[in-house]
Amino acid sequence: MEHGLVTQLLIVLAVGTLLVALCQRFGLSPILGYLATGVLVGPSALGWLPDDDTTRLLAELGVVLLMFTIGLEFSLPRLLAARRLVLGLGGAQVVLSGALFMLLAWWLGRSPAEAFVLGGALAMSSTAIVLKQLGEQMELPAPHGRVVTGILLFQDIAAVPLLVVLPILAADPARLGGELSLALAKAALVFLGLVFVGRRLLPPLLHWVAQTRSLELFMLTALLLALSSAGVSAMAGLSPTLGAFMAGMLLGETMFRHQIEADIRPFRDLMLGLFFATIGMQLDPRTFVTAPLAVALVVAALVVLKPLLLAPLVRAFGHTPLDAWRSAIALAQGGEFGLLLISTALASGLFGRALAQPVLGGLILSMVLAPLLLRFNGWLAARLTPRRHLSASYDVEAHIADESSDYQEHVIVCGYGRVGQNLVRVLEDEGIQALALDLDPERVAQAAAAGEPVLFGNAIQPGVLRAAGIERARALAVTIDDAVLAEHIVGHARALAAGLPILVRSTHGHADEALVEAGAEVFPEGLEASLAFAGQLLIMLDVPPARVEERLNSIRAQDYAPLRVFFHDTAESQSGADARDYPEQVRALIVAEGYHAVGRTPLELGLPDCEVELLGVRRGALRLPGRLLDVRLRPGDVLLLKGSHEALERAMARLMRGA
């Protein structure tokens, strides 16, 4: 039966919608729904869809767009800042896991090329499944969550060279060295060419497109850049994904990164869904019956061998045994890039279907088991951690409960740095019992030896807070300098003790609202320090102390609003400290000739509808207040806008293009 492209897409969308909805209902990744769609409608089951060139072309487009968006999110400064975790631990995991599985495959009789592909595929884990579930379980800020995130980031990066190398491995072994050298030379030339052209042409091109005020043209330009870079790479005999990734990296350095990602995402998600469906179509479900031992061997490699290798590796990088096992269990599954590597090897002729079938089956089955392992990673890790180490990990709760059993109406202090230590001393001077929790074993050991009321424990874990006697505590003070961790601690504390007074030290004014919503009172240390510094300077400038105090109290009465917005520098933006870390920003826009805003008032432009606040308009030496919404804008006017990153993007699009 012949099917047109529209019919194929309709079948995938109809069945995929149903199965993805079922996956969401049971808390599973949508990827599993797409894979199940492919298995169900593919030639080995119902036969509704052929595994033809058209379907594979659309699926490959999804992979190209995925690598393009990964390139957009790639930040070299951010990577270097976490180099020990990402490059060190992540690199060691990929290399050692890949080498282990490669040697095992070679020992079992596979060719070197097949063993290489198997090693790379089995070394990968599922970024989508793991990060989604750990985020829902509020474990990403925990030590094992950070380890897992760093390793997954390196795996995503490592997939790029692996995809480039795979087609070359299909060449004659006698010419393999020459082919690899040629491929490296081509990759270097493509990279240098894209960098040379991109840095000179992309910024003016994107500015010109933005000035046309056409969202459609901007979206088409983004797609053109992604696909043309992939095409250049393909014409050079390399994987199209390499060119797409490089193009994303270049565009990620521009101010249009977030807009491009938003435009590409709908196409990427649709095409990726089709890609995973085509992976499912390649799997013959009868494999689970005809080759159960081979499938079980792949699952065992992922669920047993990979954690056994990874746990000591994480431990070697200075993490506790419990965190090492939790990290290893969280990564005990196959991943999207593993499926992609096997699919690419099958298409390149490196694999036969007889080998690919049990490997695909094992990868998919491990991804089905992943949510269960992730849900109980703490319980499993506690039972795998030797008893002699549990006093520093799992049994810490019992130790805290024993030490805090005599505490009543006490204050629990989360964090025993300088602020936490000073706070405990002040409380004790007032005759108020205090119990501090900290994760630095050296600091805890020294302070405890000196008789200080501090215990080793991770306050982000509800069991630790419960063991510290939060139900009978008088108050909770969070002094750690991490807004995300503080928010999680507050959330757990509020769930355990609904009426408990909670005070959080905040050095990040942008996070105060989230902490208040979580149920805490916030002491804005950074903002208070700014006020104290300004007040001292004003007094040095002979401003009357009463006037200084009045001005400072006025700012406090406004909930520090004048101090809560900032212009951000390039380093902050490149490190990812923008939309996520600073919900409210200030941005200046110079109105240029040809902008939609020229001759119109802020009210006519609908700026309030964009959820931004106009702080003011600078016209030459004049500064017009933002409340004057009926001022007609002229070329050269500078608008000072305040709002979230997304709101500012919408407002700037409206001012420039009328969108």
DSSP conformation letters of 555-604: HHHTTTGGGS-----HHHHHTT-STTT-SSEEEEEE--TT-TTTT--HHH
Question: What mean pLDDT is predicted for residues 206-234?
Answer: 79
State the chain's mean pLDDT as an integer.
80
Angle between helix axes 5-25 and 53-73 (nearest 10 degrees) is 50
Cα 264 from Cα 258, distance rounded (Å): 10
The CATH number of 5-382 is 1.20.1530.20
Of these ranges, 42-56, 173-187, 216-230, 550-564, the one predicted with the greatest mean pLDDT is 216-230
Give the pLDDT score at 401.
86
Inter-residue contact 261 to 249 (CB < 8 Å): no
Inter-residue contact 421 to 444 (CB < 8 Å): no
pLDDT in tens, 591-644: 877 788 888 888 888 877 778 888 778 887 777 776 667 788 888 888 888 877
Give the pLDDT score at 58.
66
501: buried, middle or exposed (CB in 10 Å: 19+, 13-18, 0-12)? middle
Q: Residue 563: pLDDT above 70?
A: no
Question: What mean pLDDT is predicted for residues 646-658?
Answer: 80
pLDDT in tens, 11-23: 878 888 898 888 8
Class level of CATH domain 396-528: alpha beta
Of these ranges, 273-277, 349-353, 404-408, 588-592, the one predicted with the greatest mean pLDDT is 404-408
Question: What mean pLDDT is predicted for residues 294-316?
Answer: 93
Asked if domains 5-382 and 396-528 share a fold, the reply is no
What is the helix (H) or strand (E) element at residue 418, kind and residue range? helix 418-429
Q: Residue 570: pLDDT above 50?
A: no
Residue spans per domain, the chain? 5-382, 396-528, 584-657
Question: What mean pLDDT is predicted for residues 467-482?
Answer: 90
pLDDT in tens, 244-270: 888 887 777 776 777 777 777 777 777
Give the pLDDT score at 508.
60
Q: Residue 293: pLDDT above 50?
A: yes
Q: How many helices (H) and strands (E) does the chain have?
A: 32, 10
Of these ranges, 45-59, 301-315, 539-553, the one predicted with the greatest mean pLDDT is 301-315
Length of the chain: 659
Inter-residue contact 261 to 252 (CB < 8 Å): no
Percent of all residues in the chain with a pLDDT value above 70, rounded to a whole number: 86
Q: Which residues of 224-237 are buried (b: 16+ CB within 10 A; e: fewer)?
A: ebbbebbebbeebe
Give the pLDDT score at 410.
93
Give the pLDDT score at 578.
42
**Cα-trace Rg, the chain:** 28
What are the distances in angstroms from CA 591 to CA 204, 608, 637, 639?
A: 17, 18, 5, 8
Looking at domain 584-657, what is its CATH homologous superfamily? Regulator of K+ conductance, C-terminal domain (3.30.70.1450)
Give the pLDDT score at 580.
42
Confidence at 584, pLDDT banded by 50, 70, 90: low
Give the pLDDT score at 278.
79
